[in-house]
């Protein structure tokens, strides 16, 4: 089944400025690279979805070998536009004997495109992934049920971020009964 993002479009201004902001904030983090950037974008978008009912950037996400990433057809044109306009650049950096192509922000992000709550949310996600290397960030997302259930390059619906294997508690059951009871009169019609 093919999933379609109900919002329909990427918010280019927010996507560009989020990428710039993450690159700027994490530029001194030795572990920062493409994998960590993808995970910051993923968690920012999904934390915002949980809080506000929509993703911050509007990116769709797909399952890839190293975890969910923004859909390449949406992310790569924005990344390439930022590079060609010299707002970011790729810089090779040695990391544990390998050359890592790291994005470095040349321009400052325009944070006015974000609300104060969004800036706080972004900061908390960046802080939680600072010092986490790509392997650990990938392993974290590999534990998510949504990633386990999807096929390679399959688009992940926004709501699958909510899936869990956790046991239902009494609070969960009480909530479900309340919701079901609210629909009961409509079911009898």
Higher pLDDT, 153 or 100: 153
Classify 153 in phi/psi space as left (phi over 0), alpha (psi -120 to 50) or beta.
Answer: left
Predicted confidence band of residue 97 (pLDDT cuts 50, 70, 90): confident
Of 172, 139, 110, 115, the closest CA to residue 36 belongs to: 139
Task: Note the pLDDT tens digit of each residue in 54-93.
Answer: 999 999 999 999 999 999 999 999 999 999 999 999 998 8
pLDDT at 166: 78
Kindly report the backbone phi and psi dihedral angles of residue 137, in degrees, each rounded to the nearest multiple of 5, phi listed first.
-65, -40
Helix (H) or strand (E) holding 62: strand 61-64
Domain ranges of the chain: 12-188
pLDDT at 58: 96
Residue 104 above 70 pLDDT?
yes
pLDDT at 4: 47
- Alpha-carbon dihedral 77, 148, 125, 30, rounded to 10 degrees: -70
pTM: 0.84
Task: Note the pLDDT tens digit of each residue in 118-150.
Answer: 999 999 999 999 999 989 999 988 888 888 888
Task: Note the pLDDT tens digit of each residue in 153-185.
Answer: 999 888 777 777 778 788 878 877 887 777 655
Q: How far apart, in whole angstroms, are the C-alpha atoms of residue 8 and residue 58?
A: 8
């Amino acid at each position: 089944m093919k999933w379609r993002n109900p919002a329909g479009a990427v918010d280019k201004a927010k996507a560009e400025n989020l990428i710039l902001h993450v690159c700027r904030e994490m530029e001194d983090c030795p572990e920062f690279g493409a994998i960590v950037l993808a995970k910051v974008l993923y968690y920012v978008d999904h934390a915002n979805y949980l809080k506000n009912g929509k993703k911050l950037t509007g990116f769709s996400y797909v399952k890839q070998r190293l975890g969910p990433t923004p859909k390449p057809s949406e992310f790569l044109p924005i990344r390439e536009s930022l590079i060609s306009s010299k707002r970011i650049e790729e810089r090779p950096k040695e990391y544990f004997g390998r050359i890592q192509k790291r994005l470095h922000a040349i321009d400052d992000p325009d944070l006015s495109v974000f609300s104060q709550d969004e800036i706080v949310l972004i900061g908390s996600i960046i802080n939680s992934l600072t010092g986490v290397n790509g392997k650990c960030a990938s392993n974290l997302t590999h534990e998510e049920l949504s990633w386990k259930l999807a096929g390679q390059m399959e688009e992940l619906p926004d709501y699958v971020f909510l899936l869990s294997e956790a046991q239902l508690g009494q609070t969960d059951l009480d909530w479900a009964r309340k919701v079901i009871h609210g629909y009961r009169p409509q079911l009898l019609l």
